[in-house]
């Protein structure tokens, strides 16, 4: 039985974040109450605080923990109390968030954690891998999957491959039988290659687009843009075939040239709830069903393959370290790692 109060990182009226006691949320229809063991940080976390300014909202998206309570209308047999569970929620906009001792999450978009995954690494099985799946198979609906890989490889570009999402895109694309071309900083080349990239290019190189086009024989028609700024649209456009192709971007932008289609993905769409930040969205049953399908796909991939989590960067004081973690990320100090917080490390 869950307590009535819990520690959580919440947004104050002045826009700052603090740890304080609030009510433990209750699971609604189709939801689980999860006792959070660890949480992981995404850029969206600090941006939602800075730009959303939702006083009283609980911060954080990615979590892992154990099922404490099962709400009504959860499919029978899907979950049991005590099961390990990972996923993400839309923190900083609703009262519910991941940087807390308990969180409420949609049962059918929550991941059963493999036994081989540590608590800290399991906190990464949320927004990043599901966004990677969205980018590959919602935007590029003609791609093979790791469960049905192709035997005739063709190229895909992963721009920003050392990012949290990018690391999963590289692995999933390679396991699907594709020829993975990636960009990263030179210091992260070895990391990206260890994940399965066939070729890695320095995105700082002013000729990188042309070099990728040459390396792929002018046949590149699929790309995932994990950066969506600092010239990435033009670089990817330069790398694509003369006929064009598809770019799956984690943020929308205009097509760089005729023949190039840009399709943006929003992870929050698959959670099955309407929201009004960072823009207005009314729940779409089709996208909600995609979320359920993608969660099953991720579980299938995890069951079949040895997927590598992002390299860990654990901050020492649990929820009390979140403000420091935000500043660390804002200062541009995160590269190839995932900031992670163990809830048990929070000072009493």
| Mean pLDDT confidence for 164-190 | 98
% of the chain exceeding 70 in pLDDT: 100
Contact 248, 183 (CB under 8 A): no
pLDDT digits over 237-286, tens only?
999 999 999 999 998 999 999 999 999 999 999 999 888 877 788 899 99
Assess whether pLDDT exceeds 80 at residue 1: no
Check residue 52 and give its pLDDT: 85
pLDDT digits over 18-47, tens only?
999 999 999 999 999 999 999 999 999 999
| Mean pLDDT confidence for 196-222 | 98
Split at pLDDT 50, 70, 90, the class of 134 is very high
Split at pLDDT 50, 70, 90, the class of 311 is very high
Check residue 307 and give its pLDDT: 98
Split at pLDDT 50, 70, 90, the class of 2 is confident
What the chain holds in terms of domains, given with CATH numbers, is 5-125+309-345 (3.90.180.10), 137-268 (3.40.50.720)
Six-digit token string for 161: 């491959």
| Mean pLDDT confidence for 302-323 | 98
pLDDT digits over 46-105, tens only?
999 988 889 999 999 999 999 999 999 999 999 999 999 999 999 998 789 999 999 999
Contact 243, 259 (CB under 8 A): yes
Q: Pairing relation of β-strands 179-184 and 155-159?
A: parallel
Check residue 96 and give its pLDDT: 93
% of the chain exceeding 90 in pLDDT: 90
């Amino acid at each position: 039985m869950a307590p009535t109060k819990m520690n959580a990182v919440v947004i104050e009226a002045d826009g700052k974040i603090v740890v304080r006691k609030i009510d433990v949320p209750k699971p609604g229809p189709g939801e689980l109450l999860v006792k959070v063991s660890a949480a992981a940080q995404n850029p969206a976390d600090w941006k939602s605080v800075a730009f959303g300014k939702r006083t009283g909202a609980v911060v954080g998206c990615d979590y892992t923990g154990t099922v404490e309570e099962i709400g009504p209308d959860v499919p029978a047999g899907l979950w049991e109390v005590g099961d390990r569970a990972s996923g993400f929620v839309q923190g900083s906009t609703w009262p519910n968030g991941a940087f807390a001792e308990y969180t409420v999450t949609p049962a059918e978009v929550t991941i059963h954690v493999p036994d081989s995954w540590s608590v800290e690494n399991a906190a990464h099985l949320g927004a990043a891998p599901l966004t990677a799946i969205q980018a590959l198979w919602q935007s590029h609906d003609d791609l093979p999957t790791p469960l049905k890989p192709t035997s005739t490889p063709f190229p895909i570009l992963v721009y920003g491959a050392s990012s949290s999402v990018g690391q999963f895109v590289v692995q999933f694309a390679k396991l699907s039988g594709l020829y993975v071309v990636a960009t990263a900083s030179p210091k992260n080349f070895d990391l990206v290659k260890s994940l399965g990239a066939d070729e890695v290019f320095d995105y700082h190189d002013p000729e990188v687009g042309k070099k990728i086009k040459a390396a792929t024989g002018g046949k590149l028609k699929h790309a995932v843009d994990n950066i969506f700024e600092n010239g990435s649209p033009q670089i990817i456009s330069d790398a694509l075939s003369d006929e064009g192709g598809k770019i799956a971007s984690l943020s929308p932008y205009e097509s760089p040239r005729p023949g190039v289609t840009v399709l943006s993905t929003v992870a929050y769409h698959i959670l099955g709830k309407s929201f009004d930040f960072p823009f207005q969205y009314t729940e779409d049953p089709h996208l909600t069903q995609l979320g359920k399908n993608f969660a099953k796909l991720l579980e299938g991939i995890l069951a079949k393959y040895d997927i590598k989590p992002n390299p860990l960067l654990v901050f020492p004081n649990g929820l009390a370290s979140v403000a420091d973690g935000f500043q660390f990320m804002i200062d541009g100090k995160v590269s190839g790692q995932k900031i992670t917080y163990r809830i048990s490390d929070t000072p009493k």
